[in-house]
């Protein structure tokens, strides 16, 4: 099924009508912010579940706040609009949802203030983000991660995805599945569009909130599941590049990538070179939870259909 509708200009309209001018500020300067949300089809219940939607809309509000964007809908209203749009689409398959807050003013002039803001939303059927979720080959990017004082990675800014795209394309053209991106100090930040976890000496480790990461909702999910279901606490600390090479396990996590195991970095196999036990257990838990199949975490899943 293809996308038929969008929420645009305050209403659900046919997707062909959801168009902007080439003079739109965000198209010229990257001045907007967005979210990426997944909805999962559960065939047994004939239900589409949106995963952690309020958390995504809270982050969209934070991104908007950082960028001086006015988002005229509450988290609850954004959720209602999303459900309405998905019902109209009638999707019965896994879906990716893209809310966008953009500077709709048509004209020239680099700034964030005194501009008209707009909100738009569309959704499309979506499968895997990386093909090799069970064994990614990664490289350390020659590009560096953006810094909080350049374009803040904490906000999901449209323009900052040039940094992600440079990393992703370099990795792909060099024959890898994904990139691992270091910050200006040379410590591990995250993937091109996903957070990173390492298992080393039985400890789960991930870079902290000041490592120029996007504060991922899947990252928070992984930490909670590791603690509550596997009895593993996550240590949040800087990670060196060469710690990656000697890690027992590595995995990416994010809405798009879900939980994808990294089995090779810079031509060094990680651990056994196969998916490790922690990554496997977290993946199994995650894929059940997102489809509403785990009662304890069912509150993370918003049903679309009545």
What is the set of active-site residues? 156
CB 64 within 8 A of CB 115: no
Q: How many angstroms separate the CA atoms of 206 and 73, rounded?
A: 33
Instruction: State in angstroms the smallest separation of the CB of 265 from ligand PMP.
Output: 18
Q: How many angstroms separate the CA atoms of 251 and 274, rounded?
A: 12
Task: Give the residue carrying structure tokens 């500020």.
Answer: 25
**HSE-up (13 A, CA, CB side) for residue 58:** 7
| CB nearer ligand PMP, residue 152 or residue 303 | 152
Strands (E), 20-165: 32-34, 37-42, 47-51, 95-103, 117-125, 136-144
| CB nearer ligand PMP, residue 34 or residue 176 | 34
Instruction: State in angstroms the smallest separation of the CB of 117 from ligand PMP.
Output: 21
| CB nearer ligand PMP, residue 216 or residue 279 | 216
What is the contact surface with ligand PMP in residues (CB under 6 A)? 36, 164, 190, 193-195, 214, 216-219, 254-256
Buried-state track 225-259, b at ≥16 Cβ within 10 A, e below 16: bbeebeebebeeebbeeeebeebbbbbbbbbbbbb
Cα–Cα distances (Å) from 226 to 147, 180, 229, 231, 279, in that order, read: 29, 22, 6, 6, 10
Instruction: State in angstroms the smallest separation of the CB of 238 from ligand PMP.
Output: 17
Buried-state track 120-145, b at ≥16 Cβ within 10 A, e below 16: bbbbebbeebbeebeebbbbbbebbb
Helix axes 277-290, 217-230, angle to 10 degrees: 110
Instruction: State in angstroms the smallest separation of the CB of 273 from ligand PMP.
Output: 25
Q: How many angstroms separate the CA atoms of 54 and 166, rounded?
A: 30
| CB nearer ligand PMP, residue 238 or residue 256 | 256
| CB nearer ligand PMP, residue 179 or residue 278 | 179
| CB nearer ligand PMP, residue 153 or residue 292 | 153
Reduce the DSSP state of residue 173 to 3 states and report it: helix
Instruction: State in angstroms the smallest separation of the CB of 211 from ligand PMP.
Output: 11
Q: How many angstroms separate the CA atoms of 73 and 68, rounded?
A: 15
CB 138 within 8 A of CB 265: yes
Instruction: State in angstroms the smallest separation of the CB of 185 from ligand PMP.
Output: 18
Q: Are strands 136-144 and 258-265 parallel, antiparallel or unpaired?
A: parallel
């Amino acid at each position: 099924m293809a996308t038929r509708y969008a929420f645009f200009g305050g209403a659900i309209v046919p997707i062909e009508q959801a168009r902007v001018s080439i003079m739109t500020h965000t198209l010229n300067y990257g001045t907007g912010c967005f979210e990426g949300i997944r909805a999962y089809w559960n065939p047994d219940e004939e239900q589409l579940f949106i995963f952690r939607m309020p958390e995504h809309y809270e982050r969209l509000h934070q991104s908007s706040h950082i960028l001086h964007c006015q988002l005229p809908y509450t988290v609850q209203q954004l959720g209602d609009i999303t459900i309405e749009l998905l019902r109209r689409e009638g999707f019965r398959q896994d879906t990716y949802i893209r809310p966008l807050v953009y500077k709709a003013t048509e004209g020239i002039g680099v700034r964030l203030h005194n501009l008209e803001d707009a909100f738009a939303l569309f959704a499309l059927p979506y499968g895997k983000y990386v093909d090799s979720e069970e064994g990614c080959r990664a490289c350390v990017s020659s590009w560096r991660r953006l810094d909080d004082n350049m374009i803040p990675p904490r906000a999901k800014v449209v323009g900052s995805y040039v940094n992600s795209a440079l990393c992703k394309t370099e990795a792909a053209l060099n024959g890898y599945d994904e990139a691992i991106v270091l910050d200006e100090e040379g410590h591990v930040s995250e993937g091109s569009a996903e957070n990173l976890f390492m298992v080393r000496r039985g400890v789960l480790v991930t870079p902290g909130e000041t490592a120029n990461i996007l504060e991922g909702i899947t990252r928070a999910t992984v930490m909670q599941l590791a603690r509550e279901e596997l009895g593993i606490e996550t240590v949040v600390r800087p990670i060196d590049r060469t710690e990656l090479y000697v890690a027992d396990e590595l995995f990416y996590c994010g809405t798009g990538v879900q939980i994808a195991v990294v089995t090779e970095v810079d031509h060094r196999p990680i651990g056994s070179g196969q998916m490790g036990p922690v990554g496997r257990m977290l993946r199994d838990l995650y894929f059940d939870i997102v489809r509403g199949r785990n009662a304890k975490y069912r509150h993370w899943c918003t049903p679309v259909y009545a």
